[in-house]
Structure 1
Amino acid sequence: MHPTPTYTPPSDADDAARVPVPAPFARLRRFPLDGALLLFDRDSGTNARCEGPETAHLRQRAPRVVQFGITNRCNLACTFCSRDTEARSEWTADSAFDVLSGLAAAGVLEVAFGGGEPWAFPRFEELVCRLHGETPLAVSFTTNGLALTPRRLAAVRGRYGQCRVSLYDDNAWRDTVARLADAGARFGVNYLVTPERLPSLETVVLELVALGCRDVLLLSYNGADRALHLSPDEARGLARRVALLGRALGSRCTLKLDVCWGERMEGVPRLFDRADCGAGREFLVLTSDRKVMPCSFHHVAIPAASADEVMAVWRGRREALASASRLPGCARTPGYGLESPATGGAA
């Protein structure tokens, strides 16, 4: 038997706790930023940022989100997957809970499970329920949907913030989206935008809306296959199309863009007004073989098996965590690593 950890706010959270906030937001969890205060509701995903003289002294003391690749197992074999297929899966439900409860105590707001396929991880639904019941963490997970049965969905109902479904050509995504919509689940869809998929973008998004999806996240490709990267002209055209599609959808569906698009999508509203993507600072990746990475596409991987070790990496390895990925597509690299030095154009 493992003793049940009791969540205790860190003593340095007192400054954030003393900042006055509007009464409707008083129940939300407080997360100090550098000079600001973030208020967060884990069940709805609501974020409210407060900034003024009352918050000028605050400093961020933890990453907001840990992206947890809890297993390296998957029931698909996508050629563009970013995970290290040779990495071992070393977590158990108990060891994962221990590290995440410690990170919650350090101030982390959210855990976003990925992999691999998180539903291939033993006792995953038990872990989700335990985290919701015994920590203040918001729990979300990204899945291909093939193992997300009605029984499993019912087991975690009301105990997670959001389910995100990755849309592939071979994962019966229409069935998954319809099942989630019928169940009243809080979910969204992740859609990787490639040159091949560009012509059908609006058609796919409108079909998702018709099936009941209300949240679509457009992902950019990061990796060595140049054929999967958009050219500068394609990226500019996509920005215009996304703006038009977003206005046409209105309140029926939220269209989002991942941080790796960087400044290729000018004029897109942001929760945090910054040029950098935030990898290694706002969020960390914890891998299946117990390493910390700035993001899933990065070459930096630092061993860490406990919450204390993860936080030590976050505090002490800032330069490494803030570096650019070596893979083409990184927003921290001039030209996103896609321009030819000789011509200044797309390679």
Structure 2
Amino acid sequence: MHQRPEDAIAVPPVLAGLRRFPLDGALLLFDRRTGLTALCDGPETAHLRMCAPRVVQFAITNACNLACTFCSRDAGAESAWTAGDAFAMLRDLCRAGALEVAFGGGEPLVFKGFADLVRRLDEETELAVSLTTNGTGLTDRLLAALAPHVGQIRLSVYDDVDHRPLIARLAERRARFGVNWLVTPARLARVEELLFDLLERGCRDVLLLSYNGRDRALHLSPDEGADLARRVRALGRALAGRMTLKLDVCWGERMEAVPRLIEPGPCPAGREFIVLTSDRRLAPCSFHHASFPVATAADVLRVWEQERASLAAPARDPGCARSAGFGLGAAPRSLPLAG
């Protein structure tokens, strides 16, 4: 069998069993069961180059059992995927080097055959599997079917859904889970209240999301962004050792005051991370206007290599960290959403 360049690099014995992923100039080691990640960066790795996206964010369906006002997806649009098609695509991307698939939507739990797809990916590939869900359809039976095969269940928490019983149930069953929470001006004052309530209920992992889209009322002002950064910095100290507090990459330099585990760099969307949409297109992120049709893993890798400039461009809608002032300095224009 042909030896890959990353396989020839010596690593500490304790890390030797981890899956290897070449970055541009570095080597990433990854354990899909625990999420343990180690970065090897030095002269020995300078020649390495990324050969596939590291994470596939798979919006497998637009269908959803909720109707959130901030969601821009057409919930009535049919998915172009079957469970078999999705498995074949992800299996082949795994063989090309991809490490993880993160399912979203829409609501992935309403996708036909979803639990069996997750089981097959876990048993027949080396991918780490996670999913983001509103949780309202996560019955005890479905949770029992998914839990052995997913690295983490991420629960999106909304104001009009009582998430507390579900979080208590996830914690009671020792499921690996975290919470996603969208920070808007109306929610900003509740950040501390939410986090300490989640901690009390057994949640140990929270991701704070920024809004991307055309509704200006949902974007934080510069002063509100600075206020959030100060509060997150204080919360990070208060919750240290008890809860992992995360910020999505779209916050960009608005969170400069917050200490980082890894020094921030250019937005990885479109390079380390890609999105596969429900209509079989590749996009750099869920909020980007550019997308390209793909039918096979070979198509994905071709677009990923050949369309680097488009995948690295700022999104047109306000909120993108790649845009000057996050695209919030001028009134929104009417622009097409398809690339």
* TM-score bracket for this pair, using the shorter chain length: over 0.9
Matched, 1:14 2:9: no
Query: What secondary structure sits across from 1:218 in the alignment?
Result: strand
Is the contact between residue 143 and residue 164 of structure 1 (CA under 8 Å) also seen in structure 2?
yes
* Distance in 2 separating the partners of 1:171 and 1:263: 32
Q: CA deviation at 1:79?
A: 1.3
Partner of 2:249: 259
Partner of 1:344: none
Q: Identify which of 127, 135, 138 aligns with 1:137.
A: 127
Partner of 1:332: 322
> RMSD value over aligned CA atoms?
1.4
Is the contact between residue 82 and residue 297 of structure 1 (CA under 8 Å) also seen in structure 2?
no
Q: Identify which of 139, 152, 155 aligns with 1:149.
A: 139
Matched, 1:299 2:251: no
Percent identity for Structure 1 against Structure 2 = 62
Greater mean alpha carbon deviation, residues 114-123 or residues 80-89:
80-89
* Distance in 2 separating the partners of 1:270 and 1:111: 24
Q: 1:14-163 to 2 correspondence within 5 Å?
A: 14-85=4-75, 87-163=77-153
Q: Deviations over 1:218-241 (max 9, x none)?
A: 000001000000000000010000
User: Runs in 1 of length 4+ with deviation above 2 angstroms?
Assistant: 82-88, 267-275
Partner of 2:191: 201
Query: What secondary structure sits across from 1:250 in the alignment?
Result: coil
Partner of 1:223: 213
Instruction: Flag the 1:152–1:86 CA change in 2: closer, same or farther, 3 A.
Output: closer
Q: CA deviation at 1:133?
A: 0.3
Q: CA deviation at 1:334?
A: 0.2
Q: CA deviation at 1:134?
A: 0.4
Listed as ranges, the gaps of 5+ residues in structure 1 are 1-8, 342-347
* Distance in 2 separating the partners of 1:103 and 1:81: 28
* Distance in 2 separating the partners of 1:267 and 1:26: 36
Q: CA deviation at 1:291?
A: 0.5
Instruction: Flag the 1:271–1:93 CA change in 2: closer, same or farther, 3 A.
Output: farther
Aligned residue pairs total 331
Partner of 1:6: none
Q: 1:276-287 to 2 correspondence within 5 Å?
A: 276-287=266-277
Q: Deviations over 1:255-284 (max 9, x none)?
A: 100000011101445465443211100100
Is the contact between residue 37 and residue 58 of structure 1 (CA under 8 Å) also seen in structure 2?
yes
* Distance in 1 separating the partners of 2:101 and 2:297: 13
Q: CA deviation at 1:250?
A: 1.3
* Distance in 2 separating the partners of 1:237 and 1:267: 10
* Distance in 2 separating the partners of 1:275 and 1:115: 27
Task: Give the partner amino acid of 2:227.
Answer: G
* Distance in 1 separating the partners of 2:159 and 2:94: 36
Partner of 2:176: 186
Query: What secondary structure sits across from 1:251 in the alignment?
Result: coil
Task: Give the partner amino acid of 1:225.
Answer: D
Greater mean alpha carbon deviation, residues 51-60 or residues 187-196:
51-60
Task: Give the partner amino acid of 1:260.
Answer: C
Task: Give the partner amino acid of 1:107.
Answer: G
Q: Deviations over 1:301-334 (max 9, x none)?
A: 1100211111111011101111110110000000
Listed as ranges, the gaps of 5+ residues in structure 2 are 332-339
* Distance in 1 separating the partners of 2:73 and 2:53: 21
